[in-house]
Each structure stands twice: as C-alpha cells, then as structure tokens.
Chains A and B, each alone.
Chain A
C-alpha cells in the first residue's frame, strides 16, 4: 500500500538521523515521539523492529513519550499501555528505559503526574514528531468529543463509545474497562513540530470526513490539526469512503510529487518504493 510505505519512510527518516547522531555527540537529534497504542500502530512497530534488527536504525538516542495510559490499571496488567509498549516495541529494540516516558496511571497525585509529564516534554526540547491514530468519534489520544482544543496533559473520563471500543481488549466485559485515563491534551499535540495521524479502516471513515472536510470543532478533536503547520494524515482506501471523490483524487494526485520534493537526497534509496 502506498500510504503504508509513506508512513514508514517518514519515521525511518528521523530515526536514521538518530542513528547517525552517535557520531556527533554534541549535536544530538532527539526524536521525541509521542507513541500510540491500540490496533492501528502495531504494524508500524513491527516494521520499525524489523528495520532495527536489520541494523538500519537505532533507538539508542530516541526519546519517546506515550500519549496516554489508563487510570487505576496495574502497570503489569496485560492491557495497560506500559505492557503494550514493552511487549510490542520496547523489549525488541535498543531504546533506553530513561528515555521512554509513559504516564503513570497509578500515581498518588494524578494532576501532578500530568504537569510533570508536560515538564519532561519541555526538558527534552519539545516533541519533534507526534504519531497517533484516531477513534471512531474523532478523538486524538483520549481527547474525547467536547475536549478543549487548547487542553494540556490531564485526567479524562472516557466516553461511552471509547469504553465500548476498548471492551474487546477486556474480554468484552464493559465492567472491566477503565473509565478514566491520563492523556496529552490537544494543545500538547499542537505544540509538536510535526504531526502524523494514522487512519485505517472504514469504521474510521466518518471521523476522517469530519476531521478534514468540515470545520475545526471540539466534537471531533482531531480536526484541530487543520490549524497545525505540518500535519500528515496517512490513510488506506477504506478510511476515505466518506470523503468526496474530488478530495481523494486531489490527494492521490499530489502524493508522488510531494514525496519526491520532501525527501532529502540521502534517502533517494527509497524511490523504488514509490512505484
């Protein structure tokens, strides 16, 4: 799939720089990357692990910030985002533990935990690349419909839709699904230098329509990125089913020249993937 290639190209670009940075210790390129969990990014992580195992990239100097975590779920619960990140990503690559930041949903003072997370992002020099998926209700991270578009990292109660969507990870038992989460805010993400939103599947199609063909609206929080200077939405064909034919044709038409323009010369290697 063309869009699959593009999303990996982008991350590879930044991570290759991170690998080369070993030779230039005074000029570390920190790729700060809020990481998503859930079903969409699994394929992405698998690819990254593959490239790491082939020796093409390294995570040794990469700092990551996960965008959310459930409140009150034990850290070693198989459905916690700590477990998800460890099993699906961290344990397979060479990232350093002190560089991998995940919100602590069991902190004694949740609000302080959120503020300290914002501080850690600032200390790291800000987010360079944000990667995330969306919910069927158009939420980014756990910024549910009605979230402020200038919100920061905070505690959120989860919408019924989200709880139902998550039930499949808890044996289909609604009573087992956490009802609150810590999440980065829409404002936090808007501060990132670059945003990449991954949207696949027809069940996300309506949210994508609301996100890019309608106005900026706090009921579809991902629409906030219409006002971000550098955002990429990566989609598969099914996700575009609710868009106007004209919109889809426009973006398909600009894809190839866009990639050629954006790629710096040392990654010309990837040209063949565009065909």
Chain B
C-alpha cells in the first residue's frame, strides 16, 4: 500500500537485497526512491504511514552512486573538440554509451583549440540532467589553451595562449561565453593567472592546474586564489623533486586554506601512471583522489588511426599515441575499468574505489548535496555492480537506463 499521499503522489521504489554505499561503508540496507530522489524510509513510515509501490530486487548487488567523469574528450568516434554542425548529437551519443560504464554525469572536455572552435562548440551544448537517453552533462571542461608550451602533451602548440591582462577579455576572446562551463585547466605560472583564477572561481567554475611547469609555491598561490583540482596528476607537469615538489606537492601542502580540499585527477588505466606512483598519491592524500578516464574519441573503437582535436591519434592495444610519436594522447579505458584497476593497484577498499569515481568528483564540482552519494534527498543516480565491480545496471533519477545483457 503506497503512502497516504500527504507529501507526494509519486510512486515509491524500494531497492532490496543489496548493499548500499552510505557513510563511507557498504551497508546492508534497502534504498528507497521517489520522484527521482533518495527517500528517507523512516520519515515515510512515521509521517506518511506509507511503504513501497514496487520492489526492485538487486540480486545481492552493490549499489553505488552513479560515476561522474570530469575529464572525457569523446568516444565511439566522437571528438568533442571537432567543430561539427551538430555537436549536441555527438555529446548525446557518448552520453548514451557511457551508461554502460556506470557513468551517470560527465563533463565533455575540449583540448586546446583555436577560438573559432570554442565559439562554435560551446553554445551548442547546455548543462542538462541525464535520463533514459544518456548521462547528464554537468558542463564543459576546457583543458587549455592557457597552458605551458613545455608541457603541452598532445595539445597543438600553435593554439596555446597566454593571458593579456588577466581580465575577462582574455577569456571571452578565446572561449566566447562561459555559460555551460564547469571547469578550466590552466598553467598557474602564466603571468596574470591569479586574477583569472579568482574570476573563474567567482563564477562557480572550478579551476584546475595542469599542463604546467609551476613550482610548488606558484601552485599554492593558485590554490589560495581558488584553484581546487589538478589535471591528471603526474602527467604534463614537473616530476616530484624533494626540494621542490611542484604541483605534486599540493597533495601534502600545509598552505591549503582551512576547510578546503585540493582534488587531483588520476587516469587509472594502468598506462598513464605506474601503480607505485598511484599508491604514493593515494596514500599521501586519499580524500582528494578523483578517477578520470581522459578518454579520447577512439575509446570504444577498434585499433587504428583516428582524429583528435587538430591532430591524428594511433591506437595500439590499450595505448593511444600521437601518431608517429610515443607521446600518450589520452586513454581509451572506461570508467568502470578505471575503478577496478585503481582498487587492484592501490589495494584500497571497495568503498574508497567507488567514492573516487562518485563522491570526490561531486565534491570537487560543489554538487555533492545532490550527486555522488546516496544520502536522503540526493538524486537517485545509481550503478549496480557485482563484487568484481563490473556494472550490472545503471539508473538515473531512479529509472533504469541501462542493463547488462538487456
């Protein structure tokens, strides 16, 4: 018998026979959902004298918050940095496919591109919730062009930029408008970066440090001004040095403002970071670790050559190189692969591995009151996994959007 309708007419689902991730542990509890949000069953019982309209038997699965990928450049042949007529269609295709990996929200990422590309691509995609058609878009991640030429990685050097005066004009000239942008990666050693960092943070846009030769002091200054993320730690930055740890030193810096956390992205595909390095970072600062795929257009495609941004990429097995070189250009691992690899390489608990792909990215983007966790009132974006952390079913707002072997 459903509730007495004193609060809502909407049907209530009860997920039973499962272990849910709550309070940083896996608990044997049922999960209740109404109106696309996690419901408090005790309130339902005492206030509304209600119970569930339908039971969903999870078959003993782990129920985790849906994964959030804050760095993904494309996939399945779609390259977000390619200025096509219908960018939205490409984003939608990827959004639909990543449901299979347990991803329920993501930030389409653009690598360094000429202003014309940003001006064409950005206005075509708005922030929107996910659903049966695909994962939700949280906003663009603009990785470049304000980065260091010495650490450009796979980014095309001719489109790198510096700040003119550090004012808004520098950003609008390159990007156009900043609506629908969730995060910007920049190199803090560039002159006038501090005012840019402050401006972006004031607009609610996360600032990430990456593709940079900054020393620790420059990185710490950027954090003081509001930077809160490190783009793919270890890659495209100075290596750790014991007298100047560089950006890596932020993991244990004592100059982080109180109450703030510096998060750092890790590509746990087994290629971009040696497992020992992954473990060093994890042990130094476990609460800040955010798993990202940094997946490129070739993710999901067979081996061969494919366009990325303004360049051509070559797939060899699980590696993706800038064609003709040995420079890694991004990964083709999926988010669930990253979660499994991270757990196996770091020896961390299941809870920690799952939180690195859900809670931490939500905290980074400041959306943890509705995403990234299964607390009462949060959006019911769920991923059901078996004990080996393989995805069985994906839900968005309490509705099933993908099932294995459907």
Contact = CB atoms under 8 A, between A and B. Distances in A.
Contacts of B46: 75, 82, 86, 97, 102
Nearest to B49: A97
Interface in B44-60: 45-46, 48-51
Interface in A87-146: 90-91, 96-98, 100, 102
Contact of A91 (B30, B43, B49): B30
Contacts of A102: 46
Contacts of B49: 96-98
A97 B45 contact: yes
A202 interface: no
Nearest to A102: B46
Contacts of B1: 96
A199 to B, nearest CB: 30
Nearest to B29: A91
A75 B46 CA distance: 9
B42 A86 contact: yes
Interface string B25-48: 000001000000000011101101
Contacts of A91: 30, 41-42, 45
Interface in A1-23: none
A97 B43 CA distance: 11
A83 interface: yes
A100 B42 CA distance: 12
A275 interface: no
B183 to A, nearest CB: 36
A77 B83 CA distance: 55
Interface in B34-91: 41-43, 45-46, 48-51
A97 B47 CA distance: 9
A171 interface: no
A273 interface: no
Contacts of A76: 42-43
B22 to A, nearest CB: 13
Nearest to A83: B42
B291 to A, nearest CB: 33
A102 B45 CA distance: 12
B66 to A, nearest CB: 25
Interface centre among B41, B42, B43 (most CB of A within 10 A): B42
Nearest to B40: A76
B382 to A, nearest CB: 20
A76 B42 CA distance: 8
A174 B97 CA distance: 56
Contacts of B42: 76, 82-83, 86, 91
A31 B241 CA distance: 73
Counting from the closest, the 9 A-B pairs by CB-CB distance are A97-B49, A97-B45, A86-B42, A98-B49, A82-B46, A86-B45, A90-B45, A91-B41, A76-B42
Interface of A: 75-76, 82-83, 86, 90-91, 96-98, 100, 102
19 contacts: A76-B42, A76-B43, A82-B46, A83-B42, A86-B41, A90-B45, A91-B30, A91-B42, A96-B1, A96-B49, A96-B51, A97-B45, A97-B46, A97-B48, A97-B49, A97-B50, A97-B51, A98-B49, A100-B45
